[in-house]
Structure 1
């Protein structure tokens, strides 16, 4: 079975490129710097379903990406979550949080309406993301930049 991104993730996110294991998505909600890592393996719902090497790779990609996001966006807190109640495909949300953001200190889900990116803000966010990933093993999707 070939990997295919869940339709809701494909609809709600921009595809930015690939780490060795995970696809990197940017949420279309511009309220927060909100990214999603999705292991590119078919049929995976839970992290424990990955083999041991891929579990370690997922952990490494998530931690390195979180550290880069925190530094690049001067985060007050990084929220990392794998819920999967609505989208059963394994995916990890990486959300940069600030003490002054609209939902602080609560979870972001259902707190404020989604805000669309302007074309220039989207290009700025994508460019900043590609720059912060320059030192990591990341292959950008150049169709979004």
Structure 2
């Protein structure tokens, strides 16, 4: 299997939070929403069915852990999970915390409102919140 390399667009649009046993966890740079992305660390994959059966189970488990933490620590009204891949073909799963009244509610977040960059303190707080929420899981922070 080819070596894992993060797609250039994901490198540009995200910040590495850390990793699970299978997936790299990224934070999208759009501060409008707590928006995280799981990327299985396997080379040249575009679809979930291309993962081994064990990796599919691991991806599901990691997605569920992340979803539970997001729901709890960000007090989500709703979670949006999506694997589109139209712009970035590399297999990746968006986990977006949504609130009634957020800038795009109730529409999907894509193209609804302009992205807002994080302020330095806002970014530090968001990263600390998710890392603390994941502390009891198999998650490994990028900055311990």
TM-score under structure 2 normalisation? 0.98
Q: What residue in structure 1 maps to residue 82 of structure 2?
A: 81
Q: What residue in structure 2 maps to residue 71 of structure 1?
A: 72
1:1-145 equivalences in 2 (<5 Å): 1-142=2-143
What is the SS of the residue equivalent to 1:128? Answer: helix
What is the SS of the residue equivalent to 1:36? Answer: strand
* CA displacement at 1:79 relative to structure 2: 0.2
Unaligned 5+ segments in structure 2 are none
Unaligned 5+ segments in structure 1 are none
* CA displacement at 1:64 relative to structure 2: 1.2
What is the SS of the residue equivalent to 1:4? Answer: coil
Residues of 2 paired with 1:136 and 1:45: CA distance? 26
Q: Deviations over 1:28-47 (max 9, x none)?
A: 00000000000000011000
TM-score under structure 1 normalisation? 0.97
What is the SS of the residue equivalent to 2:17? Answer: strand
Aligned residue pairs, count: 143
